[in-house]
Amino acid sequence: MADALIEPVADRIRAVAAEVILPLHRNLTDEQIRFKGHNDPVTEADEESERRLTRELRALLPGSLVVGEEAVAADPAVLDRLMEPNPVWIIDPLDGTGNFARGSDVFAVMVALVEAGETRAGWIYAPVSGRMLTAELGGGAHLDGRLIAKDRAARPLGALIGAVHTRYLPAEPRRAVEARLARFARNAELYCAGLTYLGLAAGSYDHALFWRAKPWDHAAGALALAEMGGRTAFLEEDPYAPLARDRVGLLSVRNGERWREIRDALFETA
Protein backbone atom coordinates (compact mmCIF):
# COMPACT_ATOMS: atom_id res chain seq x y z
CA MET A 1 0.00 0.00 0.00
CA ALA A 2 2.71 2.51 0.99
CA ASP A 3 4.58 1.97 -2.29
CA ALA A 4 1.53 2.98 -4.32
CA LEU A 5 1.19 6.18 -2.28
CA ILE A 6 4.75 7.50 -2.60
CA GLU A 7 4.26 9.54 -5.78
CA PRO A 8 0.62 10.60 -5.25
CA VAL A 9 1.48 11.98 -1.80
CA ALA A 10 4.62 13.67 -3.11
CA ASP A 11 2.56 15.34 -5.84
CA ARG A 12 0.04 16.67 -3.34
CA ILE A 13 2.76 18.03 -1.06
CA ARG A 14 4.37 19.84 -4.00
CA ALA A 15 1.02 21.28 -5.04
CA VAL A 16 0.15 22.53 -1.57
CA ALA A 17 3.58 24.11 -1.21
CA ALA A 18 3.24 25.84 -4.59
CA GLU A 19 -0.32 27.04 -4.07
CA VAL A 20 -0.41 27.80 -0.34
CA ILE A 21 3.06 28.22 1.16
CA LEU A 22 5.28 29.84 -1.46
CA PRO A 23 2.85 32.67 -2.31
CA LEU A 24 3.10 33.77 1.36
CA HIS A 25 6.89 33.37 1.58
CA ARG A 26 8.20 36.86 2.41
CA ASN A 27 4.68 38.20 1.87
CA LEU A 28 3.15 37.66 5.31
CA THR A 29 1.35 40.52 7.02
CA ASP A 30 1.36 40.92 10.80
CA GLU A 31 -2.25 39.70 10.84
CA GLN A 32 -1.17 36.41 9.23
CA ILE A 33 1.17 35.54 12.11
CA ARG A 34 0.11 34.62 15.64
CA PHE A 35 1.67 32.79 18.58
CA LYS A 36 0.46 29.48 20.04
CA GLY A 37 2.83 29.90 22.97
CA HIS A 38 6.08 31.57 23.95
CA ASN A 39 8.31 31.85 20.87
CA ASP A 40 6.02 29.42 19.01
CA PRO A 41 4.57 31.16 15.95
CA VAL A 42 1.98 29.86 13.52
CA THR A 43 1.09 31.51 10.22
CA GLU A 44 -1.78 31.44 7.79
CA ALA A 45 0.43 29.25 5.59
CA ASP A 46 0.75 26.60 8.34
CA GLU A 47 -2.98 26.47 8.92
CA GLU A 48 -4.10 26.38 5.29
CA SER A 49 -1.37 23.86 4.37
CA GLU A 50 -2.62 21.53 7.13
CA ARG A 51 -6.24 21.93 6.06
CA ARG A 52 -5.40 21.07 2.45
CA LEU A 53 -3.13 18.15 3.25
CA THR A 54 -5.61 16.73 5.77
CA ARG A 55 -8.40 16.72 3.21
CA GLU A 56 -6.34 15.40 0.30
CA LEU A 57 -4.42 12.70 2.18
CA ARG A 58 -7.59 11.29 3.73
CA ALA A 59 -9.10 11.15 0.26
CA LEU A 60 -6.11 9.16 -0.97
CA LEU A 61 -6.55 6.57 1.79
CA PRO A 62 -10.21 6.19 2.87
CA GLY A 63 -10.62 5.41 6.54
CA SER A 64 -7.31 6.99 7.49
CA LEU A 65 -6.91 9.46 10.35
CA VAL A 66 -4.75 12.57 10.65
CA VAL A 67 -2.51 13.94 13.39
CA GLY A 68 -1.48 17.44 12.35
CA GLU A 69 0.73 19.77 14.36
CA GLU A 70 -1.84 22.57 14.36
CA ALA A 71 -4.73 20.25 15.18
CA VAL A 72 -2.77 18.99 18.21
CA ALA A 73 -2.05 22.57 19.26
CA ALA A 74 -5.80 23.19 19.30
CA ASP A 75 -6.67 19.85 20.94
CA PRO A 76 -3.89 17.68 22.45
CA ALA A 77 -6.25 14.67 22.47
CA VAL A 78 -5.74 14.44 18.70
CA LEU A 79 -2.42 12.70 19.48
CA ASP A 80 -4.40 9.73 20.78
CA ARG A 81 -5.26 8.86 17.18
CA LEU A 82 -1.77 7.37 16.89
CA MET A 83 -3.03 4.49 19.03
CA GLU A 84 -6.00 3.74 16.76
CA PRO A 85 -5.92 0.69 14.41
CA ASN A 86 -6.57 2.87 11.35
CA PRO A 87 -3.66 4.19 9.26
CA VAL A 88 -2.66 7.64 10.50
CA TRP A 89 -1.12 10.51 8.57
CA ILE A 90 1.24 12.67 10.63
CA ILE A 91 1.53 16.16 9.15
CA ASP A 92 3.92 19.00 9.80
CA PRO A 93 2.38 21.50 7.39
CA LEU A 94 5.26 23.97 7.61
CA ASP A 95 8.30 22.97 9.62
CA GLY A 96 10.53 25.90 10.54
CA THR A 97 7.69 28.39 10.97
CA GLY A 98 9.89 30.87 12.81
CA ASN A 99 12.33 30.88 9.90
CA PHE A 100 9.48 31.21 7.39
CA ALA A 101 7.95 34.13 9.30
CA ARG A 102 11.33 35.93 9.19
CA GLY A 103 11.61 35.45 5.44
CA SER A 104 14.23 32.67 5.59
CA ASP A 105 14.30 29.83 3.06
CA VAL A 106 14.90 27.25 5.83
CA PHE A 107 11.53 25.51 6.04
CA ALA A 108 9.96 22.26 4.89
CA VAL A 109 6.77 20.19 4.71
CA MET A 110 6.76 16.75 6.35
CA VAL A 111 4.31 13.87 6.15
CA ALA A 112 4.48 10.33 7.55
CA LEU A 113 2.12 7.38 7.31
CA VAL A 114 1.91 5.30 10.50
CA GLU A 115 0.15 1.98 11.14
CA ALA A 116 0.04 0.21 14.52
CA GLY A 117 2.62 2.64 15.87
CA GLU A 118 5.11 1.91 13.07
CA THR A 119 6.10 4.42 10.40
CA ARG A 120 5.39 2.88 6.99
CA ALA A 121 6.33 5.79 4.74
CA GLY A 122 7.63 9.34 4.95
CA TRP A 123 8.00 12.47 2.84
CA ILE A 124 10.07 15.62 3.44
CA TYR A 125 9.89 18.46 0.93
CA ALA A 126 11.89 21.69 0.75
CA PRO A 127 9.65 24.09 -1.22
CA VAL A 128 12.38 26.61 -2.09
CA SER A 129 14.93 24.14 -3.48
CA GLY A 130 12.36 21.59 -4.66
CA ARG A 131 14.23 18.71 -2.99
CA MET A 132 12.09 15.74 -1.98
CA LEU A 133 13.11 12.97 0.43
CA THR A 134 10.87 9.88 0.45
CA ALA A 135 11.11 6.62 2.34
CA GLU A 136 9.18 3.39 2.53
CA LEU A 137 9.62 0.77 5.24
CA GLY A 138 11.72 -1.96 3.65
CA GLY A 139 11.89 -0.05 0.36
CA GLY A 140 14.79 2.30 0.97
CA ALA A 141 15.09 6.08 1.08
CA HIS A 142 15.21 8.21 -2.06
CA LEU A 143 16.41 11.79 -2.45
CA ASP A 144 15.05 13.43 -5.60
CA GLY A 145 14.17 9.98 -6.90
CA ARG A 146 17.60 8.40 -6.35
CA LEU A 147 18.16 5.60 -3.86
CA ILE A 148 20.45 6.70 -1.03
CA ALA A 149 23.36 4.33 -0.38
CA LYS A 150 24.49 3.46 3.12
CA ASP A 151 27.21 5.64 4.61
CA ARG A 152 30.30 3.47 5.11
CA ALA A 153 32.87 6.27 5.37
CA ALA A 154 35.41 5.83 8.16
CA ARG A 155 36.22 9.49 8.74
CA PRO A 156 37.72 10.54 12.08
CA LEU A 157 35.44 12.11 14.68
CA GLY A 158 37.05 15.51 14.17
CA ALA A 159 36.05 15.52 10.51
CA LEU A 160 32.34 14.99 11.14
CA ILE A 161 29.74 17.73 10.64
CA GLY A 162 26.73 18.00 12.92
CA ALA A 163 23.42 19.84 13.08
CA VAL A 164 23.15 20.26 16.83
CA HIS A 165 19.99 21.99 18.05
CA THR A 166 20.80 23.23 21.55
CA ARG A 167 18.10 25.91 21.95
CA TYR A 168 15.63 23.63 23.75
CA LEU A 169 18.12 21.75 25.95
CA PRO A 170 17.96 22.51 29.69
CA ALA A 171 20.78 24.76 30.87
CA GLU A 172 23.15 22.13 32.30
CA PRO A 173 23.22 19.68 29.37
CA ARG A 174 23.24 22.61 26.94
CA ARG A 175 26.44 24.01 28.46
CA ALA A 176 28.03 20.55 28.47
CA VAL A 177 27.15 19.87 24.83
CA GLU A 178 28.22 23.31 23.64
CA ALA A 179 31.59 22.81 25.34
CA ARG A 180 32.11 19.62 23.31
CA LEU A 181 31.08 20.84 19.87
CA ALA A 182 34.70 21.65 19.06
CA ARG A 183 35.30 17.88 18.82
CA PHE A 184 33.61 18.02 15.40
CA ALA A 185 34.62 19.84 12.26
CA ARG A 186 31.56 22.05 12.11
CA ASN A 187 28.13 22.40 13.68
CA ALA A 188 24.99 24.13 12.44
CA GLU A 189 21.63 25.06 13.96
CA LEU A 190 18.84 25.17 11.39
CA TYR A 191 15.76 25.24 13.66
CA CYS A 192 14.06 23.07 11.06
CA ALA A 193 13.98 19.31 11.56
CA GLY A 194 12.87 18.73 7.97
CA LEU A 195 15.89 20.40 6.38
CA THR A 196 18.12 18.79 9.00
CA TYR A 197 16.97 15.32 7.89
CA LEU A 198 17.32 16.36 4.25
CA GLY A 199 20.90 17.40 5.06
CA LEU A 200 21.57 14.04 6.69
CA ALA A 201 20.18 12.25 3.63
CA ALA A 202 22.29 14.35 1.27
CA GLY A 203 25.47 13.86 3.32
CA SER A 204 25.73 17.51 4.37
CA TYR A 205 25.59 16.43 8.03
CA ASP A 206 26.80 13.30 9.79
CA HIS A 207 24.60 13.60 12.86
CA ALA A 208 21.90 15.75 14.40
CA LEU A 209 20.91 16.31 18.02
CA PHE A 210 17.36 17.30 18.93
CA TRP A 211 15.76 17.75 22.33
CA ARG A 212 12.06 17.60 21.55
CA ALA A 213 10.67 14.46 19.87
CA LYS A 214 7.31 15.50 18.46
CA PRO A 215 6.08 12.91 15.93
CA TRP A 216 5.57 15.44 13.11
CA ASP A 217 9.22 16.50 13.45
CA HIS A 218 10.78 13.02 13.33
CA ALA A 219 8.57 10.20 12.01
CA ALA A 220 9.41 10.75 8.33
CA GLY A 221 13.08 11.60 8.86
CA ALA A 222 13.81 8.76 11.27
CA LEU A 223 12.37 6.25 8.79
CA ALA A 224 14.44 7.67 5.92
CA LEU A 225 17.58 7.54 8.03
CA ALA A 226 16.93 3.93 9.07
CA GLU A 227 16.33 2.91 5.46
CA MET A 228 19.76 4.28 4.47
CA GLY A 229 21.59 2.56 7.33
CA GLY A 230 21.37 5.36 9.87
CA ARG A 231 19.98 5.37 13.37
CA THR A 232 17.69 7.67 15.35
CA ALA A 233 17.46 6.88 19.04
CA PHE A 234 16.95 8.51 22.40
CA LEU A 235 20.09 9.19 24.40
CA GLU A 236 19.36 6.13 26.55
CA GLU A 237 19.63 4.10 23.28
CA ASP A 238 15.92 3.28 22.91
CA PRO A 239 14.97 3.51 19.20
CA TYR A 240 12.73 6.36 18.13
CA ALA A 241 9.04 5.58 17.55
CA PRO A 242 6.14 7.98 16.87
CA LEU A 243 4.32 6.84 20.03
CA ALA A 244 7.23 8.04 22.22
CA ARG A 245 5.76 11.51 22.17
CA ASP A 246 6.70 12.75 25.65
CA ARG A 247 10.38 11.80 25.65
CA VAL A 248 13.29 14.17 25.06
CA GLY A 249 16.87 13.92 23.83
CA LEU A 250 17.08 12.41 20.36
CA LEU A 251 20.21 11.72 18.31
CA SER A 252 20.16 10.92 14.57
CA VAL A 253 23.34 9.56 12.99
CA ARG A 254 23.85 8.98 9.27
CA ASN A 255 26.10 5.95 9.83
CA GLY A 256 24.18 3.96 12.41
CA GLU A 257 27.26 2.06 13.54
CA ARG A 258 28.72 5.32 14.90
CA TRP A 259 25.67 6.31 16.96
CA ARG A 260 27.14 5.46 20.37
CA GLU A 261 30.51 7.02 19.54
CA ILE A 262 28.87 10.32 18.62
CA ARG A 263 26.50 10.23 21.61
CA ASP A 264 29.47 9.75 23.93
CA ALA A 265 31.42 12.57 22.27
CA LEU A 266 28.51 14.93 22.90
CA PHE A 267 27.61 13.87 26.43
CA GLU A 268 30.60 12.16 28.02
CA THR A 269 34.20 13.13 28.64
CA ALA A 270 36.49 11.84 25.91
Give the span between the Cα atoms of 95 and 109, in whole angstroms: 6
Question: Could you read off the pLDDT of 127-173 as tens digits, one per residue?
Answer: 999 999 999 999 999 999 999 998 887 899 999 999 988 888 888 88
Q: Residue 269: its pLDDT value, please?
A: 53
Distance separating alpha carbons of residues 224 and 226, to the nearest angstrom: 5
Average pLDDT, the chain: 94
Question: How many Cβ atoms sit within 10 Å of the Cβ of residue 164?
Answer: 21
Cα distances (angstroms) measured from residue 222 to each of 21, 129, 131, 212 = 24, 21, 17, 14
The pLDDT score that the predictor gives to residue 173 is 86
pLDDT at 270 over 60: no
Q: Are strands 65-68 and 88-95 parallel, antiparallel or unpaired?
A: parallel
Query: What would the pLDDT profile of 94-133 be if each residue is shown by its tens digit?
Result: 999 999 999 999 999 999 999 999 999 999 999 999 999 9
Q: Please, are residues 234 and 213 in contact by the beta-carbon 8 Å criterion?
A: yes
pLDDT at residue 32 greater than cutoff 60: yes
DSSP 146-169: EEPPP------GGG-EEEE--TTS
- Ramachandran angles phi, psi of 258, nearest 5°: -100, 10
Q: Could you give all domains of the chain from N- to C-terminal order, each with its CATH number?
A: 2-147 (3.30.540.10), 157-267 (3.40.190.80)
pLDDT at 11 over 60: yes
Which is it for strands 161-164 and 207-212: parallel, antiparallel or unpaired?
parallel
Q: What's the rounded Cα separation, in Å, for the pair 16 and 97? A: 16
pLDDT by residue (tens digit) across 164-216? 888 888 888 889 899 999 999 999 989 999 999 999 999 999 999 999 999 99
SS3 of 245, please?
coil
pLDDT of the residue at 1: 64
Please tell me the distance from the alpha carbon of residue 126 to that of residue 25, in angstroms, as a whole number.
13
Q: Please tell me the distance from the alpha carbon of residue 136 to that of residue 220, in angstroms, as a whole number.
A: 9
| Model pLDDT for residues 214-251, shown as the tens digit of each residue | 999 999 999 999 999 999 999 999 999 999 878 999 99
pTM (2 d.p.)? 0.95
pLDDT of residue 98: 93
- Position 148 scores a pLDDT of 96
Confidence (pLDDT) at 170: 87
What are the backbone dihedrals phi and psi of residue 173, each rounded to the nearest 5 degrees, phi first? -65, -30
